[in-house]
Structure 1
Amino acid sequence: MISDAQLYSLAVFLGSAAMLMIVLYHFLEINAKDWKEESPISKERRADAVPAATKTR
């Protein structure tokens, strides 16, 4: 059976690992390349895809 001390250590380790993964995810997300700029769709077609209510005149 697992003791209280082992359970506590496991909880601290898993919590710390989860926080590190969250920080790593945000770091990678912020520094990721924006692939939308390299889209093969022309600007005119991209503008037509925007709903009329959000278009600025």
Structure 2
Amino acid sequence: MDGCMADTRCKDLIGSAVSSCDPRLCSQDACASTLNHFHAQSSTEYHGNLAFCTC
């Protein structure tokens, strides 16, 4: 599947929903991953504070 489900929200490191989320960050892998998984990766790939997506 390409992209995220309609109700997917991108969140920052403290879990606050951000309005300027790039939907391309919300891949299936991103939605299936945890905050710790993304926190361990380079944050620059996720535009700084965009850390993970929840579906």
TM-score (norm 1): 0.22
Q: Which one has more relative contact order, counting CA pairs under 8 Å at least 6 apart?
A: 2
* Greater strand fraction, Structure 1 or Structure 2: 2
Rg larger in structure? 1
* Greater helix fraction, Structure 1 or Structure 2: 1
